[in-house]
Structures are given as C-alpha cells and as structure tokens.
Amino acid sequence: MSHASVSANGPTLPAVIEATRIRSGLWRWSTPHPEWRPDAAADSPADWPREVGSVLCDAADATVLIDPLLPSHRERFLRGLDEHVGERGLPVAVLITIGFHRRSRDELRGRYRASTSRARKSLPAGVESFPVRGAGETLFWLAEHRALVPGDRIIGARGGGLRLCPESWLRYLPSGLGIREHRDRLRPLLELPIVSVLVSHGDPVLRDGHAALAEALAG
C-alpha cells in the first residue's frame, strides 16, 4: 500500500513530506525562509520568525497548496509530493495569500500544470477566499476543516495566540491602510466557525481559533 493511500486514520502523506497533520486531509509544514535576517529590528518589515508555514489540503476535487515554500531537501520533498498528487489523480491548485508569498508557486505550477486563480468561481471545492480591502491580501477559508489560512496580516503571537501584523508591514500599501482600519476590515472573519488558524509567520493556532482571533482583533 502506498504511503499516500487512505489509512485507518484517513489519508496520509509520504514520509518524506515532513508535515504536521492538522486533521484528516489537512497538513502544515514549515521551512526556513532564505531571506530571513537574524538582525532585523523588532516589528520592522524584515522582522519575522525564520520558519514560515505552508499548507497542503486534500479538497474533494483538487490537491491544494497554499503559500508553498519548498524545503532544502526539495528533491526528496517533491518526490513525495509527486506520489501524493499521482495517488489522488486530481488537479493541483497553488494559491497564495499575498504577493510576497509567491515563494515556490511558479515552480509548482509548472510541475503540475496547476491552477493559481484566486477567483471564487475557480477555487477548489470547500475553499473560500476572503480578500481584505486595501490590505493587498486574500485569506483562505477551508470550510470542511474550519481552518483559516492568512498570509501576512494575521500572524502568530510570541508565547502563543494571534496578533495583527506590525503596522510597518502596511506602510508600502498605496491604500494608506492603518492598523485600526485593518482591524475593522478583519472583523467579518469572526462570523466564521474558526477552529484553527494556520498562520505563515509564527506558530499556528490549532484549537479555539475563533477566540484567539477575537482577542487579536480586540486590540
């Protein structure tokens, strides 16, 4: 039986894909970012944890990769991903939340002839997009898993939980969006029954995600 087949605990990944299983059919892996700077000033645009997160989701009609960054053992990882994609026999969708997270998108798009459209009518089953007006970001909601996937606008807080990004991360935006307006534009997310928040920067929140987000938005 292939590593990528369905086990008693749901679908599994090939062992070479070193990822954390969030729920059956949903995984997150982390990879050192090649542009990480150990000397970045606190809350500056270059200040983020060295490890950044990527998400893999088995949707009903596609294998979905969100903000993927291939690890240093890329060829081994890709062999495992090839196996998983081939075992499922479904199209691949590579989605990014924000332009800075193009990361390995183009390589994976070429490898799998993947879709990269964030248009709602083009998204895989069970994946919803939530563009944040003026913030330059689209968050993704994985309805079956009750998981929210942000990019730069919601990040992991030191010591656990969530926080909004530093205000310095917004200064390049032509909209002039400030942190207060940003907070207000994220509040509609609280209408979702969020369990987990799979952030790119910092540690993910794997339970009580709604409460964690509400606390972050309370400011």
DSSP state of 166: P
What phi and psi, each to the nearest 5 degrees, are found at residue 193?
-80, 70
CB 63 within 8 Å of CB 84: yes
Of all residues in the chain, the percent with pLDDT exceeding 70 is 95
The whole-angstrom separation of Cα 100 and Cα 120 is 21
Residue 4: per-residue pLDDT? 43
Confidence (pTM):
0.93
Domains of the chain with bracketed CATH: 6-218 (3.60.15.10)
The whole-angstrom separation of Cα 45 and Cα 184 is 22
Residue 35: per-residue pLDDT? 85
pLDDT at position 7 over 60: no
